[in-house]
Amino acid sequence: MSLIIPKEYKNLLETAEATERAIKKVKDTFQITFSAHLDLLRVTAPMVVVSGTGFNDDLSGVEKAVSFPIHDMPGTTAEVVHSLAKWKRWKLAELNIPAGKGLYTDMNALRPQEELDNIHSLYVDQWDWEKVITRQQRNISFLKDTVRSIYRSLKTTEEILHVEFPALYPCLPDEIFFIHSEELLQMYPDLSPKERENEITRQHKAVFIIGIGHELSNGESHDMRAADYDDWSSPTDDGYYGLNGDILLWNPILESAFEISSMGIRVDEESLARQLALRNEQHKAELSFHKMLLNGELPYTIGGGIGQSRLCMYFLRKAHIGEVQSSIWPDEMKKECRKNGIFLA
């Protein structure tokens, strides 16, 4: 069992009712603020997609989706989404959304391969968002500007939450710090990727690590990314690779880097073909989604996911994600948490 019990942990929201009110405040405030900053329309999204179409998110490429046969559609299997990274892009094309605008949705997923701990659950809830951009906007400068817009929404949410719940004191810095994963490797060559994240986030408190998925100078990737949504292989003006990244915040309760969003400029026709080849997944070019993209039938986009429970956990200064969402936890974990004043839903 992987579990961190913070020393002298204190629940700053002493009643369950206060916690539920604070969860609602975080979700209501953030989605209104960030959708306004990015000009996003809220849409309804599926929980399942048809298997074999390429519309589901493969995450790092090894996770297996929960799947089941459809009774009234013999021979057809559905699978619970991992995320909506590719479905959103198709939806933008269906709605004929122009450049500069986009959509967001409440995404609910099941990831049964997750190792259950303080921040990982079988159940994933996030705001999945996607925005249409021009080909000229497929660059690092535009990626950073978008990250800054999201970060402003985080700051606003934290400040508004503090007004209603004074115990939840703001701690985010004024600006988010940007660094490429290769630069981070050069700074800490003897540390693991997770240890590098901890060191840089401990210093700057809010960090965006650019370029996740491409091989670094040590022959390894900072972390794995599927080949068919984020563009992690395009060269950039600064001599590195990748138009994607992760938003990390320093979690003062767990004393570690805390990922709240994975996002990036999405693959175009060229980078999709290149990344499929790099992963020996050229067979995916025959799937419905991939055919549409390679044929130029989908818009250029930027997008990502922002963890809802993760954000609530951070802002409410909770020690375990089970304090802000209902899921399934090992009995041993629930027992150990309860002994230390951490009550899992």
Distance CA 199, CA 294 (A): 40
Distance in angstroms between the alpha carbons of the first and the last residue of the chain: 18
Active site residue 111: yes
* Residues in Cβ contact with 218 at an 8 Å cutoff, skipping those fewer than 6 apart: 185, 189
Q: Whose structure tokens read 């994963």?
A: 181
Closest CA to 37 of 146, 160, 185, 155: 146
Catalytic residue among 31, 181, 256, 262: 262
Residue type, 214: H
Is-contact 93 299, C-beta < 8 A? yes
Catalytic residue among 259, 274, 279, 281: 259
DSSP calls for 45-67: --SEEETTSS-S--TTTT----E
Catalytic residue among 231, 246, 268, 323: 246
Active site residue 17: no
- State how beta strands 206-210 and 177-180 pair: parallel
Catalytic residue among 57, 58, 182, 228: 57
Active site residue 225: no
Catalytic residue among 31, 35, 83, 126: 126
Q: How many CB atoms within 10 Å of residue 164?
A: 12
Distance CA 295, CA 107 (A): 28
Active site residue 137: no
Catalytic residue among 31, 79, 83, 111: 111
Active site residue 145: no
DSSP calls for 154-192: HHHHHHHHHHH-TTS-----SS-EEEEHHHHHHHSTTS-
Chain centroid offset of residue 44 CA: 19
Residue type, 288: S
Strand partners, 262: 246, 305
Active site residue 126: yes
CA dihedral 145, 151, 152, 153 (to 10 degrees): 120
Distance CA 191, CA 220 (A): 13
Q: Where in the sequence numbering do the catalytic residues fall?
A: 57, 111, 126, 246, 259, 262
